[in-house]
Amino acid sequence: MESLYLLIPIALLFCVITIKLLLWAINSGQYDDLDKEAWRILADDDPAPQKPAERADGKDPNA
């Protein structure tokens, strides 16, 4: 029974902190656009491959 005097305030404090974190996440826009990250992986953000530089003597380094 005496342990409840400690556990109930800890549980209430945990609930208050959880609710505050949830409200912060909602107010800061964390849940505004849930689909953006799913589509972002499909976006082609990689730069196009460039041709290798030529050597100073004009010969192809791959030949």
Where exactly are the structural domains of the chain? 2-29
Q: How many CB atoms lie within 10 A of CB 7?
A: 10
Q: Are 29 and 35 in contact (CB under 8 A)?
A: no
pLDDT of residue 13: 99
Task: State the greatest distance between any 2 C-alpha atoms of the chain, in Å, as a whole number.
Answer: 89
Give every residue of the chain whose pLDDT is below 50, as ranges.
none
pLDDT of residue 21: 98
H helix runs in 1-63, sequence order: 2-27, 36-40
